[in-house]
Amino acid sequence: MKTPILRIKKHLPWLVPVVVAGALTGCSDPADGVHKSAAGEAQTASTRTAGKPYTIQPDSKINFVGSKVTGKHDGGFTNFSGTISVADGKVVDAEIKINLESTWSDNQRLTAHLKSPDFFDVANFPTSTFTVTSIEGSGAQQKVTGNLELHGVTKSISFPADIQVSDDTVTVKAEFAINRKDFGIMYSGRADDLIRDDVVIKLDVKATPQT
């Protein structure tokens, strides 16, 4: 008669892959499969085209997903403002400013930590600004390039976006990842629960004509 110990040893080779697979599933990176925006030197727009101004509406969403070895957290910003300029049915310019004091997350302690010197350092860098320098393509296949100022660092980033323009509305939807360390946000977390460098940005922006 086989003892329980022998039975465990017999099935151990099968149990190990199952346990490992489960662990890997639980700590997957939200940035996998998302466009990675490489940060470069800040750029100057080649030509500023005057256009019809649209105001970004407060029901727009600017959210993010950060992660570490053991899981992920959702967050975003509730206070931001900006304008989008349209000429000949296309977006030709845009700027948005975010009040980083409005940072939120799915964990109250994390929200406070994100505002601290370890991350956004809101006391010294209260705002973040994104200014478009160029837009290529049309419809759902557009490439947006602009200068992102965050944490006292300004870098050029590019990302794919779905931009739709009508007489009364402009919508911009995009999902991409940036490397927080490109902007001097270096905090790594605990040695046994390291924070990943890539942060997923999710944009769902709506703008209407200025009155």
Please give, one letter per residue, the 3-state secondary structure of the chain: CCCHHHHHHHHHHHHHHHHHHHHHHHCCCCCCCCEECCCEECCCCCCCCCCEEEEECCCCEEEEEEEECCEEEEEEECCEEEEEEEECCEEEEEEEEEEHHHEEECCHHHHHHHCCCCCCCCCCCCEEEEEEEEEEEECCEEEEEEEEEECCEEEEEEEEEEEEECCCCEEEEEEEEEEHHHHCCCCCEECCEEECCEEEEEEEEEEEECC
135/86 Cα distance (integer angstroms):
12
Query: Tokens representing 189?
Result: 């977390």
Q: What's the whole-number mean pLDDT along residues 145-172?
A: 98
Which pLDDT score, from 0 to 100, does residue 44 have?
Answer: 86
Residue 17 has pLDDT above 80, yes or no: no
Q: Is the pLDDT of residue 73 over 80?
A: yes
Residue 8 has pLDDT above 50, yes or no: no
Query: Given a cut of 70, is residue 19 above it in pLDDT?
Result: no
The answer to whether the beta carbons of residues 69 and 193 sit under 8 Å apart is yes
Q: Cβ atoms within 10 A of the Cβ of 83, count? A: 16
pLDDT for 120 equals 98
CA 200 from centre of chain? 4
Return d(Cα 107, Cα 96) in angstroms, integer: 26
pLDDT given for residue 179 in this prediction:
98
Contact 56, 80 (CB under 8 A): yes
Q: Mean pLDDT, to the nearest integer, of 104-126?
A: 98
Position 8, amino acid? I
**Is there a contact between 90 and 106 (Cβ–Cβ < 8 Å)?**
no
List residues bridging with 85 in a β-sheet: 53, 93
Contact between 193 and 70 under an 8 Å Cβ cutoff? The reply is yes
Give the chain's end-to-end CA distance (angstroms, integer): 86
| Residue range 189-209: mean pLDDT, rounded | 94
**Mean pLDDT lowest for which of 14-18, 31-35, 107-111?**
14-18
Using one digit for the tens of pLDDT, what is the confidence trace for 164-188?
Answer: 999 999 999 999 999 999 999 999 9
Domains in the chain, CATH or no CATH each: 29-209 (2.40.128.110)
